[in-house]
Amino acid sequence: MRPPSADPALSSATPSAPASAPSLLTTRSEEIFAAAQTLMPGGVSSPVRAFKSVGGQPIVFDRVKGAYAWDVDGNRYIDYVGSWGPAICGHSHPEVIAALHQALEKGTSFGAPCVLENELAELVIAAVPSVEMVRFVNSGTEACMAVLRLMRAFTGREKVIKFEGCYHGHADMFLVKAGSGVATLGLPDSPGVPRAVTAGTLTAPYNCLESVKQLFANNPGEIAGVILEPVVGNAGFITPEPGFLEGLRELTKENGALLVFDEVMTGFRISYGGAQARFGVTPDLTTMGKVIGGGLPVGAYGGRADIMAMVAPAGPMYQAGTLSGNPLAMTAGIKTLQLLSQPGTYERLETITKRLIDGVRAAAAEAGIPFCGGSISAMFGFFLCEGPVHNFEQAKAADTVRFGRLHRGMLERGVYLAPSAFEAGFTSLAHSDADIDATIDAFRDVFLSLA
């Protein structure tokens, strides 16, 4: 195994003799995080980063490049979080950085139309089957918030159906059974969300068409639409069963409701055209984020031109943003999509990710650890339970205590996994075959130590 961290003792670890945990020095991280906790709630700017569900202290990053992240103590990690999705070309891709340098010379924010918005819009419209027009915002949360308003504005109905374990950002109406961040903190629903607001949020178990049918039957003419992660990444990694997406397409059509794919995570990740291109099911509206910003804050929503015509100033549904369409963010997005649209990109991502998860599955089997997992293109995930897992209820059977120990063991071996048992993992074009091999070896080590 190639020692991924600074500790040379790692290379002597062999699968047959589980190594005692290599030491990981994180003094500086601990100091910074201790100070951060006095400055910001929980010491972080977003909850899952705080490592609450895996235990231990979060690692404070210093810099990122390619497949790697370095912490403030100088440890290097092979990174499978990729800034939670955007880093699909690898962190700080030289072409993205060069384009940003050039754009920076022209200023950081215009607050006026710029041609870069046209360029990114053209790329998105050409790539994503449902998108005929698009509106740029600054985050996935904003995109989902706006799309919700648009669903209601267009249909004149107020209720929406979401699925247990799916996350659509932190807008009030979506904070019901909302997956990883909320689930791992044990917050059933967030305080501060008015009951009247979530009363219109109907939830169904993922992969259960029957429940959706029932909800439509019980709320005739009241449901604006159905929103879902077409592949779930915020309740661990859960794939749609054959017929599920198609069934939702039919049910929404039959009931005069809209189908919305939240592709903030899957967009440009599980194929260039997202889940809708991969599965051949076209929703009415789509939300995007993460990859389309290439590491800068961008979200977007788009879809049928007749629906998008409702959005101000073309139509009456108000939605705005001071920094929306920001030239730096557009630049990073454009360059990232250009890199991704080159031939062979998704084949490569598919191959390495499958090799990774197959290797991890074999390592778990070797150690006799219950495991189920899978991958699609550059997205993967696993649960420490026998599986199969088709919904969030089944996902909760996973051994989260063991996951916490696995997470720590992987950190000690220089591999950075998402600090939650209910988050998908991400590979990038920068992950080399050697990185994948080293990761599988580290998993084997840790699994054997946990068996």
Ligand X SMILES: *Cc1c(COP(=O)(O)O)cnc(C)c1O
Q: Which residues bind ligand X (CB under 6 A)?
A: 139-141, 144, 167-169, 229, 233-234, 262, 264-265, 289, 299
Q: Which two tokens stand for residue 161?
A: 């159906």
CA 414 – CA 417 distance, rounded (Å): 10
* Whether 30 contacts 58, CB under 8 Å: no
Smallest Cα–Cα separation from 25: which of 412, 286, 340? Answer: 412
Q: Count other Cβ atoms within 10 Å, centred on residue 199.
A: 12
Q: How far apart are CA 267 and CA 382, in angstroms?
A: 20
In whole angstroms, the minimum distance from the beta carbon of 340 to ligand X comes to: 18
DSSP type of residue 235: S
Catalytic center residues: 167, 262, 290
According to DSSP, residue 47 is labeled G
- Shortest distance in whole angstroms from residue 117 CB to ligand X: 19
In what helix (H) or strand (E) does residue 184 lie, and over which residues does it extend? helix 180-185
Distances (CA, A) of 348 to 77, 99, 424: 21, 24, 19
Reduced to 3 states, what is the DSSP secondary structure of residue 42? helix
d(CA 127, CA 275): 11
Q: Which DSSP category does 228 fall into?
A: E
| 3-class DSSP assignment, residue 144 | helix
Give burial (CB, 10 Å; 0-12/13-18/19+) of 211: middle
